[in-house]
Amino acid sequence: MSHDFTPWPAPLAATYRARGYWRGLTLDDLLRDTARRRESHLAIVDGERRWSYAELDGRVERMAAAIYRLGLAPGDRVLVQLPNIAEFAQLFFALQRCGVVPVLALPAHREHEIVHLAVLSGSRAYAIADSYQGFDYRELARKLRARVPSVNHVFVAGIAEEFTSFDALDAEPEILPLPDSSSVAVLLLSGGTTGLPKLIPRTHDDYHYNIRESARVAGLGTDTRYLAVLPVAHNFPLACPGILGTFHAGGTVVMCADGSPETGQEMVAREQITDTALIPPLVLLWLEARAWIDADLGSLRWLQVGGARLNPEVAARVRPVLGCRLQQVYGMAEGLLCFTRHDDGDDAIVHTQGRPISADDELRIVDENDQEVTPGCTGELQVRGPYTLRGYWRSEEYNRRAFTDDGYYRSGDVVRRTAEGHVIVEGRNKDVVNRGGEKIPVEEVENLLLSHPAVLDVAIVGVLDEVLGERTCACVLPRGEVPTLPALKAHLNALGLAAFKLPDRLVIFETFPSTKLGKVNRRALASLIMESSTP
Ligand code: OOB
């Protein structure tokens, strides 16, 4: 598969092996190792359903054999779109056991994203829940099969109708081929790119290290009870350290059915949760909800927060209001992870996004000419290291822009580092809106809006929002009749775009401010909108 992704150069790979980051282990080894050590320990809880490690491992073994018998071979891809249910973990590890690569889509994705991801990844199967939050994924599967016939199989958790139910993925275990640890283990979705979403190839070697090291930095152990609140298809709740970190540590994963503070806090009390991870807007809701929810949060030790900037005033309220300690996490599906450490002082924990987890994470902060700035100054972060990608999946042309000649990933984040080495995220210079942690590649939405008859030109910009951090505003030059926001949303909906990408606001313009290069000046647009909406 070497033409699909860019491997690390051999000398660096040798260093990462020699330093013990890459151990030749696969993600299947991760579950097998824990299952051997912690056989009867509770591995996963989903509502009233519970599995010990031995039970989870047994289920995975039979599911893997069934998937293999369907003809899926090592290196094949399966598009997975599951909510936070136990079947996610079962399927994830079953695919690992037969060397098949999961492609992780979010439950919020719709036809537009799903078709794109299936085509880009070349997936041979699609795994869904029957329905979730009022949406029937079998309908989506029918549309996908009609448009992408190479998707041969559909696996359904729940009532399968004409498709294959998860219960039927059950066959006598057999000896399966073992994947190579330097091959791709999982394809994650990138939020930070231009145009259509890209896929991030994560190898067994690099992801195993990512998981192991973040579990260590987060202090996970056999007594950890981790609540998966954020959608587990996201790198953060999946592997930083998330559910995979908890499995590695031999703790217990508790799947949370929805992200509301009511459900979450009641689950903390009921399941004696010790650790969980939230994005900043959810932290606000969890804090506010203490006014009316009296669930006992006494078991909660650590709250990890990442995905978007956490306001220091909010950060400072975590301990007094929720009674647990805060760990800030600045990460990206592309790789690099920064964590504040448990023994950092309050100032670092409240005001910074932590430091990298690996001594071999190479961070470079540069100006617009790719020159390193003076230490302590602000610039764009470029990074390479033992678990940061060297190229997106099948995106050769884009890769030439997204990486430097010496293999650093251009993160598009504007940061600075304190004298102690802590990273502070100040902003961003990529065309993405971070709407409460969900990343919206604006070009993707703009291109769809351009197909509306009343839109001559459009630019999507992020405008500051107290709760979500940012919301999206569609700035439109009309063609004849002036379009309305509901009409534009209906248009995007009909094209099958995920709801979180629909614009929150519409502002009509006669002309757009432009940059020196003649492109739309998004920054100037955003400030025009902010000025016009302040009283
Ligand atoms: C996480 O991953 P992605 O891939 O959804 O988004 C990455 C981007 C970063 O480049 C940065 O722009 C932003 O999200 N971000 C933060 C942040 N954490 C992520 N911005 C400010 N402060 C933070 N703490 O979002 C992700 C992946 C793994 C762990 C945590 C978050």
**Per-residue pLDDT tens digits for 479-494:** 999 999 999 999 999 9
- Answer yes or no: is 62 within a domain: yes
Q: Cα(331) to centroid of ligand 1, in Å?
A: 4
Q: Are both 399 and 508 inside the same structural domain? A: no
Complex ipTM, two decimals?
1.00
| Residue 356 clears pLDDT 50, i.e. is over it | yes
Q: Are both 398 and 504 inside the same structural domain? A: no
Query: Strand 164-165 to strand 153-157: parallel, antiparallel, or no bridges (unpaired)?
Result: parallel
Q: Are both 408 and 484 inside the same structural domain? A: no
- Answer yes or no: is 334 within a domain: no
| Residue 397 clears pLDDT 90, i.e. is over it | yes
Check which CATH number belongs to the domain holding 415 and give it.
2.30.38.10
Q: Are both 111 and 141 inside the same structural domain? A: yes
Query: Strand 325-332 to strand 335-339: parallel, antiparallel, or no bridges (unpaired)?
Result: antiparallel
**Mean pLDDT of the 353-378 span:** 98
- Answer yes or no: is 120 within a domain: yes
Distance in angstroms (rounded) separating the CA atoms of residues 13 and 127: 33
Measured CA distances, 492 to 141, 153, 158, 501 (Å): 19, 28, 29, 9
CA 146 to chain centre: 28
* Nearest C-alpha neighbor of 236 from the set 32, 25, 438, 81: 438
Look at ligand 1, atom 10, and give the residue with the nearest C-alpha.
332
Residue 519 confidence (pLDDT) = 86
Look at ligand 1, atom 16, and give the residue with the nearest C-alpha.
308
* Nearest C-alpha neighbor of 116 from the set 221, 239, 198: 198
Q: Are both 422 and 462 inside the same structural domain? A: no
- Among 214, 309, 328, 330, the mutation site with the greatest number of ligand 1 atoms within 8 A of its Cβ is 330
Check which CATH number belongs to the domain holding 454 and give it.
3.30.300.30
Residue 307 confidence (pLDDT) = 97
What burial class does residue 119 get, using C-beta atoms within 10 Å of its C-beta: 0-12 exposed, 13-18 middle, 19+ buried?
middle
Residue 36 confidence (pLDDT) = 98
- Answer yes or no: is 220 within a domain: no
| Residue 534 clears pLDDT 60, i.e. is over it | no
Indicate the pTM of the whole model: 0.97
> At which of 136, 160, 180 does a domain end?
180
Q: Are both 475 and 529 inside the same structural domain? A: yes
- Answer yes or no: is 57 within a domain: yes
- Answer yes or no: is 111 within a domain: yes
Q: Are 173 and 94 a contacting pair, CB within 8 Å?
A: no
The string of pLDDT tens digits covering residues 411-455 is 999 999 999 999 999 999 888 999 999 999 999 999 999 999 999
The string of pLDDT tens digits covering residues 179-234 is 999 999 999 999 877 778 999 999 999 999 999 999 999 999 999 999 999 999 99
Hey, what are 52's tokens? 């010990």
Look at ligand 1, atom 19, and give the residue with the nearest C-alpha.
307
Q: Are both 513 and 379 inside the same structural domain? A: no
> At which of 150, 180, 210 does a domain end?
180
Q: Around 157, how many Cα atoms within 13 Å sit in the side-chain half-sphere?
A: 18
Q: Are both 381 and 461 inside the same structural domain? A: no
The string of pLDDT tens digits covering residues 4-45 is 999 999 999 999 999 999 999 999 999 999 999 999 999 999
| Residue 349 clears pLDDT 70, i.e. is over it | yes
Look at ligand 1, atom 8, and give the residue with the nearest C-alpha.
332
Mean pLDDT of the chain: 96
Q: Are both 515 and 421 inside the same structural domain? A: no
- Considering its fold, how many domains does the chain have in total? 3
Q: Are both 64 and 176 inside the same structural domain? A: yes
What burial class does residue 531 get, using C-beta atoms within 10 Å of its C-beta: 0-12 exposed, 13-18 middle, 19+ buried?
exposed
262 pLDDT band, cuts 50/70/90, is very high
| Residue 438 Cα: closest atom of ligand 1 | 5
DSSP notation for 475-509: EEEEBSBPP-HHHHHHHHHHTT--GGGS-SEEEE-
Q: Cα(307) to centroid of ligand 1, in Å?
A: 4
SS percent in the chain: helix, strand, coil, step 5: 35, 25, 40
Q: Are 498 and 113 a contacting pair, CB within 8 Å?
A: yes
Q: Is 352 in the pocket of ligand 1 (CB under 6 A)?
A: no
Distance in angstroms (rounded) separating the CA atoms of residues 329 and 311: 13
Q: Is 240 in the pocket of ligand 1 (CB under 6 A)?
A: yes
- Which residues pair with residue 355 across a beta bridge? 339
- From first CA to last CA, the distance across the chain in angstroms is 57
Residue 1 confidence (pLDDT) = 45
* φ/ψ (deg, to 5) at 144: -65, -45
Q: Cα(272) to centroid of ligand 1, in Å?
A: 28
**Which range marks the domain in which residue 417 is found?**
360-428
Look at ligand 1, atom 22, and give the residue with the nearest C-alpha.
309
DSSP notation for 227-245: EE-S-TTSHHHHHSSHHHH
* Nearest C-alpha neighbor of 204 from the set 32, 83, 87, 67: 32
| Residue 387 clears pLDDT 90, i.e. is over it | yes
Q: Are both 68 and 170 inside the same structural domain? A: yes
> At which of 180, 205, 228 does a domain end?
180
Q: Are both 477 and 383 inside the same structural domain? A: no
- Answer yes or no: is 421 within a domain: yes
**Mean pLDDT of the 356-378 span:** 97
- Answer yes or no: is 131 within a domain: yes
* Nearest C-alpha neighbor of 364 from the set 385, 378, 377, 382: 382
